[in-house]
Structure 1
């Protein structure tokens, strides 16, 4: 677990820098440099592209990670990797042709409630295409245990580019229309850079051949689309459906609240960069004991880190909202619901990696499709009735049910579960700190209030973890700074 913790920590630093830039963009620059309508439009474009992305990728990013370690000689690996590069084109080319021919019909559908969206069909398709191949090239580097550069491109490059573009709008150097076109170019550029890096690690074979186990590859790839689509639908379909039912400005307000809650998932995203290929290798080696250790430790580490972030966000939310424009305030319930869903997701550790790399992935994928349908129905029923809080409630219910079922499925099929007694100690600690600090409010400037309260909360949280040595990995890191506990 040491290598997991160290590499995850490196990735987490990069991811948090990206999230810091994203926070500036989402909470301040977008809200002040774009109108609510155009901010909502950007949210719809990116959310719809994210929904389309796993379909265009055709499951290849996951397939590369699962099957690469199966091939032992270089020639077989080259054939496999070359096939993975070409496979998505089987869907991208006909779908691109359809988007061209049916551009007006597609635009009318996505813009039936907010007409401004209908002119951006190609923006959506090209960003989705760029996202798809970026994930493929990112997986190419991850199977060679090189995740840091890809993580930088994923978390920092695009957000930094968006920041520059937003300042371009603010200074009237570029127009809103040019900003939206440049946003597409930014995602395409990121993919090109990632491709050059991936091919620098290992050049692709120029000869196209079909791998011997092509049937297994195709079956897994097509089925993994369902899993990838399910995960994205659970996270992004709410923004798409808000656009379908109510004013597009509400997408902007909802995006801000969801972004605040999404910070909780940063440790998970960082750790999964390395635990995913490690899980695949353990499963291929049939090392159940090692897998159980990884499951326990990834769960506890993520629970501890994400739990602290959840507490800091929730207890500082009032002051944080005072820093935002008035229209963007009032999303406490949204942050709470999405935050709880993200925290539960973190507590499952490498659960997703176990499912998608095991022989049981088929059942859970079909279950995921059912729950994706439920998510759409939840949003369809709740958004028209209670607005954006209905979208948050729909997302919370869907993610909670989905994660609970995945947890149960892994337990009863593989006899693995992520929780230990330390897990319940951390839950108690989170509840205790929330109860103690919820009513505490300093009378100073919001930034000073956030700093003071965060310092007190973090000191108590870390102190309890260190005093009772709740996690060996976390304790090992704390000992370097606080002194070793005898």
Structure 2
């Protein structure tokens, strides 16, 4: 766990810094400087781009991680790297022609409720392509065990550039319409920076040759396209559905709530960057005892860290919403619903990495497609009835069912199990502290009140988890800090 803990810790810190910058953007700058309409437009474009991104990447970011360690010679590795970069470009050509052929129909479909979307429709494929190649070059760096810089660009860099652009809107250096275009430009800039960094780590020697195991690669890639589409639809499909049934401002209200809840999943995002290639290597070498040990460690460590984040959000949520315009306050329940779904997914550890690097990935991916269908149906039922709350409830049901299905599949098929008695201990500690802190507030300015309550929650949470030895790794880190600072 040395390299995992080291890079995961760096990635976690970087990701939380990014989410801190994003919180400033999401809770204040976007609502105040852009207004609900153009905030919603920006979110819709990014969500739609993220949904179609797997089609442009052709699953190569995951394929690269899975197969790179299996090549024994430098020549084979260079041939494979070339293939992962050039092959998606080749397949993007027919996608572009299909998009142009059905362009008018697509525009009519997505803009019939909100005509403003029509103006920016072409930014969706452009941004999706930038996202796709960013992920490919990021994977290029990750297979060489360099996950930190790409994570910095993804989590901090994008949000910092957005912050600067929002400041530009405030000083009238650009209009809110210009901001929408600049946002897509920021993703292109992130792609270019990450590409040069990847090439610095491993200088490319592009060659138009096909790897010897191309059949296995293409078969895996096909299913990864499905898995990526499933994951991204579960993540952003609700915003696309809201655009079809409600005025676009509701996407802004929903986005603030989902952003707050998404902070809970940050530890998983950070650890995943380095755990994924290690999981692939362990499975390739058939080291299942080590893999099972890694599975349990990632599960309890993510549960402890993610549980702390969720607890701080939930007990402070009412005062947190005092910082945003009143029209956004309907999203408080959304935070709870989405937050619980993220927490359940979090405690599954490196479950996804295990599945997508196993021989069983096909069945689970088809199950994911079925759950996407359920998500769409549930959104069609609940959004007209309950608005953004209906969408959040549909998302909670879908993600929970999908996560539970993946867990049962790994347990039954691969005999790997992530939970221990510490899992139950952590749940009890988190629930008791929620009851202890949620129902009262400091009668102070919201930021001060949130800070004071969070300090009390932190002391209680860290002490109880340390006392009950919930995580050996986290206790070891705390013991090191205690020894370093001479605390008795």
User: TM-score, normalised on structure 2?
Assistant: 0.98
Deviations 1:183-234 (A, max 9, x none): 1111111101111111111122232111111000000001111111111111
Q: Partners of 1:341 and 1:359 in 2: how far apart?
A: 27
1:100 Cα deviation after fit: 3.6
Unaligned runs of 5+ in 1: none
SS of corresponding position for 2:247: coil
| 8 A Cα contact 1:45 1:123, kept in partner | yes
Counterpart position of 2:224:
224
SS of corresponding position for 2:129: helix
Q: Partners of 1:429 and 1:90 in 2: how far apart?
A: 52
| 8 A Cα contact 1:479 1:485, kept in partner | no
1:176 Cα deviation after fit: 2.1
Structure 1 segment 61-76 matched on structure 2, within 5 A: 61-76=61-76
Q: Partners of 1:60 and 1:443 in 2: how far apart?
A: 52
Deviations 1:453-477 (A, max 9, x none): 1111110110011122221100011
1:8 aligned onto 2:18: no
1:156 Cα deviation after fit: 1.0
Counterpart position of 2:106:
106
1:309 Cα deviation after fit: 0.5
Deviations 1:235-286 (A, max 9, x none): 1000000001001000000000000000000000000011000000000000
Q: Partners of 2:409 and 2:206 in 1: how far apart?
A: 42
Q: Partners of 2:53 and 2:300 in 1: how far apart?
A: 31
Structure 1 segment 70-219 matched on structure 2, within 5 A: 70-219=70-219
| 8 A Cα contact 1:103 1:121, kept in partner | no
Counterpart position of 2:276:
276
Q: CA RMSD, aligned part only?
A: 1.3
The 1:397/1:485 distance shift into structure 2, 3 A limit, reads farther
The 1:83/1:414 distance shift into structure 2, 3 A limit, reads same
| 8 A Cα contact 2:310 2:339, kept in partner | yes
1:454 aligned onto 2:454: yes
Worse overlay, 379-388 or 439-448: 439-448
Counterpart position of 1:415:
415
1:103 Cα deviation after fit: 3.1
1:157 Cα deviation after fit: 1.1
Counterpart position of 1:40:
40
1:402 aligned onto 2:402: yes
Q: Partners of 1:208 and 1:354 in 2: how far apart?
A: 32
1:368 aligned onto 2:368: yes
Q: Partners of 2:66 and 2:119 in 1: how far apart?
A: 39
How many residues get paired? 486
| 8 A Cα contact 2:38 2:177, kept in partner | no
Q: Partners of 1:372 and 1:388 in 2: how far apart?
A: 18
1:101 Cα deviation after fit: 4.4
| 8 A Cα contact 2:321 2:332, kept in partner | no
Q: Partners of 2:112 and 2:216 in 1: how far apart?
A: 41
| 8 A Cα contact 1:234 1:372, kept in partner | yes
| 8 A Cα contact 1:106 1:118, kept in partner | no
SS of corresponding position for 1:34: helix
Counterpart position of 2:296:
296
Q: Partners of 1:338 and 1:12 in 2: how far apart?
A: 21
Q: Partners of 2:418 and 2:231 in 1: how far apart?
A: 20
Deviations 1:142-199 (A, max 9, x none): 0000001100110111111111111111111112222122111111111011111111
| 8 A Cα contact 1:51 1:236, kept in partner | yes
Q: Partners of 1:274 and 1:189 in 2: how far apart?
A: 24
1:395 Cα deviation after fit: 0.5
| 8 A Cα contact 1:113 1:244, kept in partner | yes
Unaligned runs of 5+ in 2: none
SS of corresponding position for 2:55: helix
Counterpart position of 2:467:
467
Counterpart position of 2:243:
243
Q: Partners of 2:87 and 2:378 in 1: how far apart?
A: 34
SS of corresponding position for 1:441: coil
| 8 A Cα contact 1:2 1:473, kept in partner | no
Q: Partners of 2:331 and 2:186 in 1: how far apart?
A: 30
1:135 Cα deviation after fit: 0.2
Structure 1 segment 341-356 matched on structure 2, within 5 A: 341-356=341-356
